[in-house]
Chain A
Amino acid sequence: MVLRLVDPSRPDFAQQIVEKVGQAPGFYRDAPIVLDLETLARWPAPPTVDFAGIRAALASVGLVCVGVQNGTPQLTEGARRIGLAVFPTIRPAGRANAAREPDAEPEPERPAARPSAAASAPSPQAAAPSPPVAPVKAAPPPRTRVVSEPVRSGQQVYAKGGDLIVLGTVNAGGEVLADGNVHIYGTLRGKAIAGAAGDREARLFCQRFDPELVSIAGLFRVADQIGPELVGQRVGVRIVDDALAFDRLS
């Protein structure tokens, strides 16, 4: 989910995040956070942001700060230096896209900026994209596993019971699996398996598509069965009518 930074120069900034999140303890546990810098980027003289401090404050309440978006190079430099991912500028999903995939929400929604607060915490509605199937009552919140290193040949990463977010690449010979969705922000050259425990609603998204194999809930395709027109593209994979469907994401 996305946290928009409004005024990190306020001395009680970190405290504010902690308080906001503390209002809904447990709900956000282990959730990956992307800091949105759009508001700061519009400042006449962009402030220096203590990303390490923000990350520590978020970590203290169980949130994992994974990256930043919509910043200027000057702003994002500090984030990059402490190992945060710098995501490409994200625009709200276009209508054409939404029409093709009515229930798709690959990008997290962002809450409106609240100028009065130093940081606007995400509201629960914004944080939780409506699940395609109604969740079983009292089920524990799904866990999301975030992997910030490249997944290399011979390595396997499994997000049991939840989603997997890979910030880098999955190289040939590497394998990523999740019981939920798989998101890959780098190139997928290896194998990716979503819905590993059989969830047919699970999906797979990746920034650059060049896989050895993709699979959802047991349905799979190997590289030879994937059209060359998809290679190198941003691609989403899901199950439609008992078959894997590949969507180019613009």
Chain B
Amino acid sequence: MAKVIVMTSGKGGVGKTTSTAAIGTGLAMRGEKTVVVDFDVGLRNLDLIMGCERRVVYDFVNVVNGEAKLGQALIKDKRFDNLYVLAASQTRDKDALSKEGVVKVIDQLREQFDYVICDSPAGIEKGAQLAMYCADEAIIVTNPEVSSVRDSDRILGLLASKTLRSEKDLEPVKQHLLLTRYDVGRVARGEMLKVDDILEILSIPLVGVIPESEAVLRASNTGNPVILDSENPAGKAYADAVSRLLGHQVEHRFPSEQPRGFFARLFGRAA
């Protein structure tokens, strides 16, 4: 049974697209047939990070509007043959997608893939709501700062009311918290929020903590999702997050600056 996962945050620039590319690639590396879908119409970023921007002919908007067949718009990854990209359009505006059209295309993708990862645009308006509409699960991408946590909380509220699952009274969208750009030094100095504090506010299970790392920008610039770098802490943290998404128990490996009992509390919370 295919799973549709939305990567969402409310706030912009927190790492949704980076995480979509990394986790999508990671799932494919584990043998799951995966497609990453760019809902950020007008910006078109995901294809860049995935390193396939020079091969985009048709995009998601074309398929939703019936101007191209799904098969024509799916771009196969050069590294993994079970990984595909559905790019956004740079030339259309935000309102180019219709809800009915999106539902139809996502249903088609469900038939072909194990995982459909939807990269949401920022905000809480139509674009973000469309990206989450079909989701079975949601990864809430959050930075350790008050405004990002607040926006994530807002998005969690929308997930409970603006999705197909909520409308049909099905089991609610399963929620995962992904903390990104986590800078241990700044957290220790009190400039950023601690993991515990964020968990206390959002009260959803933690799927991963991605450290701030220069490797992320380098990876993006070369179109190689950071998860391919198995030596890098951010790459490793994404690999762990993928394991947890797949249902494996993986300890949160984490820098030593945290007090004792930290892991125990993390697991205690992740009910």
Q: Interface of A with B (CB < 8 Å)?
A: 80, 149-150, 152-155, 168-169, 171-174, 187, 189
Contact = CB atoms under 8 A, between A and B. Distances in A.
Interface stretch (B1-9, B24-32, B96-104, B148-156): B148-156
A173 B202 CA distance: 13
B154 A169 contact: no
Given A152-B154, A154-B154, A169 B201 contact: yes
Interface residues of B, number: 13
A199 to B, nearest CB: 28
B150 A168 contact: no
B157 A169 contact: no
A191 to B, nearest CB: 14
Given A80-B271, A150-B203, A172 B160 contact: no
A153 B153 contact: yes
B203 A173 contact: no
Contacts of B150: 153, 172-173
A169 B203 contact: yes
Contacts of B154: 152-154, 173
A171 B271 contact: no
A189 B146 CA distance: 13
A173 B271 contact: no
Contact of B153 (A149, A152, A168, A187): A152
Identify which of A152, A169, A173 gathers the most chain B CB atoms within 10 Å of its CB.
A152
A83 to B, nearest CB: 9
B221 to A, nearest CB: 35
Nearest to A171: B153
A244 to B, nearest CB: 26
A173 B158 CA distance: 13
Nearest to B204: A150
Contacts of A171: 153, 201
B203 A172 contact: no
Interface in B135-180: 150-151, 153-154, 156-158, 160
Contacts of A152: 153-154, 156-157, 160
Interface in B175-207: 200-201, 203
Given A153-B157, A154-B124, A169-B201, 6 more contacts: A149-B160, A153-B154, A155-B157, A155-B160, A172-B153, A174-B157
Contacts of B156: 150, 152
A80 B271 CA distance: 9
Contacts of B151: 153
Contacts of B157: 152-155, 174
Contact of B203 (A155, A168, A189): A168
Contacts of A172: 150, 153
Nearest to A190: B153
A154 B128 CA distance: 15
Identify which of B150, B157, B158, B200 gathers the most chain A CB atoms within 10 Å of its CB.
B157
29 contacts: A80-B271, A149-B160, A150-B156, A150-B203, A152-B154, A152-B156, A153-B151, A153-B153, A153-B154, A153-B157, A154-B124, A154-B154, A154-B157, A154-B158, A155-B157, A168-B203, A169-B201, A169-B203, A171-B153, A171-B201, A172-B150, A172-B153, A173-B150, A173-B153, A173-B154, A174-B153, A174-B157, A187-B200, A189-B201
